[in-house]
Chain A
């Protein structure tokens, strides 16, 4: 089964310019790439993906790094699933559940 100490969540956070048509296009392309790689939006400009190990997360960093937009700021950060699980999430004052690592077995 998946280990919460080995599994990592890779965060990609960005601030990209959207002042020109060209810039907006680059922004959309970058965002689409993240979705294609299986990242999900946590908040605006904050995307995350569960990776089974640090090696896998490094691989994703490398892949995205190759296709960075020409301007703007992008940050990569990986935390273990254990650390990620301690995140507190609030909608208004109401506590919501933290996202869970995917199950290896899913019976629908």
Chain B
């Protein structure tokens, strides 16, 4: 399907289901939009004056769409995920809960290694040097006991935004605003792929409830993060560092997430790649292979 992303933040609107379509009405100009629910991938709600009916929630879940709820400062605070997306679900959950530690560590090693590699590529494109991240990626051992992930992050962030004091922070009002928004949409895309493969987003391979209730989504989205980072870098290097999130910034980030990426020699969308990653995790859990199919940007 189309995999549409909808964001309600600027206008008061009321959402309801009519003829099994999402029916959106805007208060100020009585404008009306109809969107087939089956086309929707992610809905972001960041305006306190958006009303929706229960039917909206249940139809979205029914069609495998994700709803992100944001607080008054546009920060994502919650996510509604479909839980009836797969017929193998119960047995998958059981297998997933029983993954042995060695496999978890082996999977986490691949995730971190690919994340650092992707950070290296992004950095190369942004500032022309990978600051040794490519080499660092080779040092990731099973389970990442030396926390190469954090070492890489330290070099990466200060180089990316040319500021040695830059820190990832949920509440900071700088590049972080854009990063937080981008990651929220990305997390929704990955979480949706996880649910669609019959896995449970709460049973992670490394993260244990770090802020969000979906550790597995946080695990698998790691190698995807540099896509958002690069979009943010592009934005701040062409414009300015924003002090608040407006449509312009969101548009820039989402359109980047919606572009095509080369994956194993084919042009694919992030939705496709995330599904492939999730499916490869299923194969790993079922003991078919230990190799994850991760994005390489």
Q: Give me the interface of A with B, judged by CB distance under 8 Å.
A: 1-2, 32, 35-38, 40, 49, 52, 56, 102-108
Cβ contact within 8 Å between A107 and B19: no
Contact A108 B10 (CB under 8 A): yes
Known: A36-B19, A38-B38. A108 touches B24 (CB 8 A): yes
B residues lining the A interface (CB < 8 Å): 1-11, 13, 19-21, 24, 26, 34-36, 38-39, 247, 250-251, 254-255, 258-259
List A contacts of B247 (CB < 8 A): 107
Query: Are the C-beta atoms of B2 and A106 separated by less than 8 Å?
Result: no
Distance of A80 from chain B, by nearest CB (Å): 16
Given contacts A38-B38, A40-B34, contact A106 B258 (CB under 8 A): no
Residues of B within 8 A of A37 (CB): 20, 36
Q: Are the C-beta atoms of A52 and B1 separated by less than 8 Å?
A: yes
- Are A102 and B26 touching (Cβ within 8 A)? no
Given A52-B1, A52-B2: A107 in contact with B20 (beta carbons within 8 A): no
Q: Which residues of B contact A56 (CB under 8 A)?
A: 1
Whether A104 and B5, one on each chain, are in contact in the complex, defined by CB atoms closer than 8 angstroms, is: yes
Nearest CB in chain B to that of A38: its residue: B36
User: If the complex has contacts A40-B34, A107-B9, A108-B7, are A102 and B19 also in contact, measured as CB distance less than 8 A?
Assistant: no
A102's partner among B10, B24, B39 (CB-CB below 8 A) is: B39
| Residue among A40, A102, A108 making CB contact with B13, cutoff 8 Å | A108
CB < 8 Å neighbour of B258 from A32, A105, A107, A108: A105
Apart from the given pairs A104-B3, A105-B255, A107-B10, 10 other A-B contacts in the complex at a CB distance below 8 Å:
A35-B19, A38-B20, A38-B36, A38-B38, A49-B36, A52-B1, A105-B258, A106-B7, A107-B247, A108-B13
Residue of B with least CB distance to A103: B4
In the bound complex, do residue A106 and residue B21 qualify as a contact, i.e. CB atoms below 8 Å apart? no
From B2, B3, B21, B26, give the contact of A108 (CB < 8 A): B26
Contact among B9, B35, B254 for A105, CB-based, below 8 A: B254
Contacts A1-B259, A105-B254, A108-B9 known; A35 to B21 CB distance under 8 Å?
Answer: yes
Q: A37 to B259, alpha carbons, bound, how many Å? A: 27
Question: Once bound together, how far apart are the Cα atoms of A49 and B2, in whole Å?
Answer: 12
Residue on A with the closest CB to B44?
A107
A107 touches B251 (CB 8 A): yes
Nearest-Cβ distance from residue B261 to partner chain A, whole angstroms: 13
Contact B39 A38 (CB under 8 A): yes
The answer to whether residues A2 and B26 also contact, given A104-B258, A108-B11 and a CB cut-off of 8 A, is: no
Q: Are the CB atoms of B2 and A102 closer together than 8 Å?
A: yes
Q: How far is the CB of A36 from chain B (nearest CB, A)?
A: 4
Residues of B within 8 Å of A102, CB to CB, are 2, 4, 35, 39
Shortest Cβ distance from residue B80 to the other chain A in the assembled complex, whole angstroms? 18
Q: Distance (Å) between the CB of B170 and the closest chain A CB?
A: 22
CB-CB under 8 A from A107, the residues of chain B are 7, 9-10, 247, 250-251, 254
Shortest Cβ distance from B55 into chain A, in angstroms? Answer: 13
On chain B, the residues within 8 Å of A104 by CB distance are 2-5, 258
Measured between C-beta atoms, what is the minimum distance from B35 to chain A in Å?
A: 7
Q: Please pick, from A35, A49, A52, A108, the residue contacting B6 in the complex, using a CB distance under 8 A.
A: A108
Closest chain-A Cβ to B76's Cβ sits at a distance in Å of 15
